[in-house]
Structure 1
Amino acid sequence: MGDEVGQGTVEYAVVTAAFVCVVVAGAALWRALSSGLFVEHALMAASHHLQGAAGWIADVFSY
């Protein structure tokens, strides 16, 4: 029993740390989604892609 002293405490600490990381990551994702960060990034990437496309195709997709 001498080698297993504190094992439950360590397991509890590891599980608690993992849970806190999941909650923090979820909060960061929620904040990014609510601020429109992903939509803004997609629009910026789409505009750069359309600049390299053929002229009439860029005009069609821009509207």
Structure 2
Amino acid sequence: MGCHRQRHQWSLIGETGQGTVEYAVVTAGVVCVIVALGALWRILSAGIVVDHALMAASHHLEGALGWAFDIFSY
């Protein structure tokens, strides 16, 4: 019976760090998501996306008819 206990304890020694590794991986993933959402919030609040859309729209309108360009530019 003593041999069975030693084998059981030996298998637990190899598995003691699994929970710590899983916690570290999940924590790193959550931190990455929080940082990405913070960066997205900063970009949206600064108006960079709107400025980029306006610049792209003005370049698109240059190829349109002259009167349409005048109307949409003002």
TM-score (norm 1): 0.89
Structure 1, unmatched stretches of 5+, are none
Aligned length: 63
Please say which structure displays the higher CA radius of gyration: 2
Return the offset for 1:30. 0.9
Q: Which has the higher contact order (CA 8 A, sep 6+)?
A: 1
- Equivalences for 1:15-54 in 2 at 5 Å? 15-54=26-65
Task: Output the aligned Cα RMSD.
Answer: 1.1
Name the counterpart of 2:7: none
**CA deviation string 1:2-58 (max 9, x = no partner):** 442201001000110001001100110111111110011001101100111111111
